[in-house]
Amino acid sequence: MSVANSEIRSLTAKKFDCPQKFSDFCSNGGKPLGGIVGGVETAGTMNATFETIDPGNHQVLATVCEMGAAEVNKAVQAAHNAYSNPKTGWRQTPIEEKIALVMKFVELCERDRDVLLACEIFDGGKVSELAEGDFDQIRACAEYFCDVAKRIPLGDGPSLEVAPGVQGYSYREPWGVVAGIIPWNYPIVLTSWFIFPALLSGNCVLIKPAEDTPLSALYMGKLAEEAGFPPGVINVLPGRGELTGQFIAEHPVVRYISFTGSPGVGQHILRTCDRHGTRMKREMGGNGSAIVLADADPIEVARKIGRYTNQHFGQTCCTIHRVFVDQKIADDFIDAQREFFASLKIGYQADAGTELGAVINSTQKERILSAQQQTVTRGGRALLRGGVAEVTGRSGYYLKPALFQTTPEVDCNPAEVFHAFATICPVSDAEQALQLANQSPYGLGASVWTRDIEHGVALAKQFRDGTCQINCHNQIAYGLPYGGQGISGGPGAGVNCEETFTDYTQVKAVYASQYDA
Ligand code: NDP
């Protein structure tokens, strides 16, 4: 038996103090933070505001104006004008100018790194180690799509003679006005994944941040203005999903929506969009699985899987929530995973050493607690029961990690739970594990853990999931598609690849015949 490698640990917080610039941004000279519509900060006509809070201590960070139908209409109009002006429109702007503006924007984000980190840490409830990694995605994503935009031309494709005297060719153009509907768990990353391919392919954008985490998108909206994006190219519309989001989905001039969030909401928006032909791309939740083969080191792999299970306290779309371990090593694996989970340091996300912080809101808290109970009702045996945790001096929704043992006959973990939560099922062999892993209607991320890479690759390719990994999990890379199968995604090719860029464009066929009157 090997000795536990204490180097393998969960993502951890350094102490993070609130930068003055973040406080100044949040207080906004005593006014609620408005949306950004046509380059102008707007309070909106509904006279409605909401508070965004620090989930770790429930302190109000900022008051934000909610955007209603009038502001959505105005933003769509502003975006359409910014897009379509025949001389100065974003659509016509040469790609070199678009790239220069995008990279200027990235530099401004880097200048104000502390403010954006504060958004992720205080508004999003993240530990600094994860927030810093997320921040780096701004540049990585921008550079990747700048490169793609140079390589994939828009406009006319090569011409063919399709019939005597008839030339045919494809014509690729941006959609025009496109919207990104963003969830609360990775605000900076997912805003970047949306805006860079959308803008560089020539669209003007509406960003609808999650109600729980509106600050980074609003701050990025201000930086975009400072970078010199023409008014209307980037609009930010904070508000509730069922109100602001719904108005966006219902707007017929919005030609394309990029949605990231839960399958239920994604299905609802798709039905709304379908009523007037708005195209949609959906990146949705998962219930990630891991298969641990008999040749793997049970203790080392248990710790690694524990790390991925607890990435952003389990609030990561593709994270591991279902483990299938060969019964020959199951006892050692279970002991090591229980020890890893039980030793997670629960605390405030900006205090040094915290590994497991508060969940984002009371709805999530209730969902997680209910799922923990249902797992037992369905036949799971509690190794760590979960439940509420107390953190001295902090009033956030803190929960303990939960771990359950199950058997192949019992499906006690059917839906995404979104916390440091996993079920472990000992199995007789890899085939049984694969069959159980693939029984889920989700299909976002899965991994195989083995010393035999060739066997691991062969098994991993049989997952139905969009991302299959061997001896790692939660990896992403620009140039490879990140998308879900089953109820986890589609239509659309996923994010972060060339097809993501082309998803933000439409292709027409053009036929030109001789005039034989
Ligand atoms: P939700 O589906 O609840 O919300 C996502 C976004 O949709 C929010 O901005 C929300 O607004 C908005 N929304 C809600 N209702 C409507 C509506 N009727 N019309 C238009 N917009 C609406 O997801 P969560 O925010 O809870 O995020 C967590 C989910 O996201 C998890 O399932 C997670 O796995 C998934 N996810 C998937 C990723 C992937 O790449 N596949 C990446 C990250 C997360 P509001 O906040 O105001 O409710």
The predicted-structure confidence for 58-97, as pLDDT tens digits, reads as follows 999 999 999 999 999 999 999 999 999 988 899 999 999 9
Longest dimension (CA), the chain: 87
| Nearest-atom index, ligand 1, CA of 213 | 46
Q: What confidence category does residue 484 fall into, taking pLDDT thresholds of 50, 70 and 90?
A: very high
Location of structure tokens 């991994």: 447
Enzyme catalytic residues: 283, 317
Whether 262 lines ligand 1, by a CB cut-off of 6 Å, is yes
Whether 246 lines ligand 1, by a CB cut-off of 6 Å, is yes
pLDDT digits (tens, 9 = 90+) for 311-343: 999 999 999 999 999 999 999 999 999 999 999
Which among 336, 264, 289 is positioned nearest to 474, based on CA atoms? Answer: 289
Peptide bond into 491 cis (omega under 30): yes
pLDDT at 438 over 60: yes
Q: What confidence category does residue 517 fall into, taking pLDDT thresholds of 50, 70 and 90?
A: low
Residue 65 φ then ψ, to 5°: -80, 140
pLDDT (0 to 100) of residue 195: 98
User: Among 130, 134, 185, which is best to mutate for testing ligand 1, by the most ligand atoms less than 8 A from CB?
Assistant: 185
pLDDT (0 to 100) of residue 136: 98
Q: How far apart, in whole angstroms, are the C-alpha atoms of residue 325 and residue 445?
A: 17
Whether 380 lines ligand 1, by a CB cut-off of 6 Å, is no
List of domains in the chain: 20-284+488-509 (3.40.605.10), 286-470 (3.40.309.10)
pLDDT digits (tens, 9 = 90+) for 363-389: 999 999 999 999 999 999 999 999 999
Separation of CA 75 and ligand 1 centre (Å): 21
Please tell me the pTM assigned to this model: 0.97
Whether 229 lines ligand 1, by a CB cut-off of 6 Å, is no
Q: What confidence category does residue 1 fall into, taking pLDDT thresholds of 50, 70 and 90?
A: very low
Mean of pLDDT over the chain: 97
CA dihedral 308, 309, 315, 318 (to 10 degrees): 70
**Which neighbouring-strand residues pair with 172?**
155, 507
pLDDT digits (tens, 9 = 90+) for 165-224: 999 999 999 999 999 999 999 999 999 999 999 999 999 999 999 999 999 999 999 999
Q: Taking a C-beta distance cutoff of 8 angstroms, is the pair 195, 208 a contact? A: no
Separation of CA 103 and ligand 1 centre (Å): 28
pLDDT (0 to 100) of residue 287: 97
| Nearest-atom index, ligand 1, CA of 264 | 2
User: Among 237, 265, 418, 480, which is best to mutate for testing ligand 1, by the most ligand atoms less than 8 A from CB?
Assistant: 265
pLDDT at 3 over 90: no
pLDDT (0 to 100) of residue 151: 97
